[in-house]
Amino acid sequence: MFRFLYVILLNCWKGPYIIPMMRYRANRPARYTLEERYAYAKWVVHQMQHTGRITTRAYGLENLPRKNGYVMYSNHQGKYDALGIVDMHERPCSIVMDEARSHVMLTAQFIDLLESKRLVLEDVRQNLKIMKEITREIREDSKNYLIFPEGGYTDNHNMVCEFKGGSFKCAQRAKAPIVPVAVVNSWKVFESKGLGPVETQVHFLPPLYYEEYKNMKTNEIASTVQARIQQAILDNLTGKDLEILQNQLAKREASENTSEICR
């Protein structure tokens, strides 16, 4: 959190320019294409990275489908996740975000700039409506989307929590490629103490195409994507970070086994 406040403080003099410009461009889609607005969003991310001494490295860019109209599903570690993915993903993508978290300054403008969607998590009817919109936009407009199927984050860090099957319905109905995305050490950006350099990773994993998952239920798709992302994180951690994650996973497995025995 200290780094987050530090970044905001050092960029506060830019705020009176950046925030109105983000709002101005977001409100004029006829004048600024999605590609132009996406490029501006990436520029804003670069300003934050430079000030906060943040480096993000991308892997597996060759796995991204050549044609637009796919959905990326990522694990969720903190406030920086979407920023890091957008920075590494060249083509425009819109984000699906919890409505309650989407009205903070900068976040609100960022979401609007990318034509993103806000989900009211407790409102099932609104969720269904938004998912139908996303399905139509993927199918008819070939839009790309980024979804965090854990539904939020706490202090899970590099451990992936359960993916919600319902978040995969839009991709399934649109018959769109599903791209698992593993973010590694993204939590460190705004949660670690101090202001030393921090590096995060974004791994774009091989996609699941419709022919591969068409006979699977959404919960099965969710479990498959979750497992692939968790394995990718394990494969790309070293030292203390790897040890911590292995201990977390061992504790979770022991807890699940205990619960099974007690049934």
> What does the block give as tokens for 222?
């969710």
CA angle 205, 159, 184 (to 5 degrees): 50
| pLDDT tens-digit readout, 155-201 | 889 999 999 999 999 999 999 999 999 999 999 998 777 778 999 99
Q: What is the pLDDT of residue 9?
A: 61
pLDDT-derived band at 5 (thresholds 50, 70, 90) equals: low
Cα–Cα dist 84/54, whole Å: 10
pLDDT-derived band at 259 (thresholds 50, 70, 90) equals: very low
Q: What is the pLDDT of residue 260?
A: 47
Q: Is the pLDDT of residue 142 over 50?
A: yes
Q: What is the pLDDT of residue 262?
A: 37
Q: What is the pLDDT of residue 255?
A: 82
Q: What are the angstrom distances between the C-alpha of 7 and each of 47, 78, 126?
A: 9, 16, 34
Greater pLDDT, 145 or 17: 145
Using the Cα atoms of residue 9, residue 12, residue 18 and residue 24 in order, give the sign of their dihedral. Answer: positive
Beta bridge partners, 95, equal: 146
> Mean pLDDT across the stretch 240-246?
96
| pLDDT tens-digit readout, 212-234 | 999 999 999 999 999 999 999 99
Q: Is the pLDDT of residue 133 over 90?
A: yes
CA atoms within 13 A on the CB side of 115: 20
pTM: 0.92
Greater pLDDT, 193 or 130: 130
Helices (H), 27-121: 34-52, 81-88, 107-113
Q: What are the angstrom distances between the C-alpha of 176 and each of 20, 152, 211, 227, 236?
A: 35, 23, 10, 20, 28
Q: What are the angstrom distances between the C-alpha of 211 and each of 71, 207, 216, 229?
A: 15, 11, 10, 20
Using the Cα atoms of residue 209, residue 149, residue 69 and residue 56 in order, give the sign of their dihedral. Answer: negative
Q: What is the pLDDT of residue 190?
A: 82
| pLDDT tens-digit readout, 33-64 | 999 999 999 999 998 898 888 999 999 999 99
Q: Is the pLDDT of residue 261 over 70?
A: no
Greater pLDDT, 257 or 242: 242
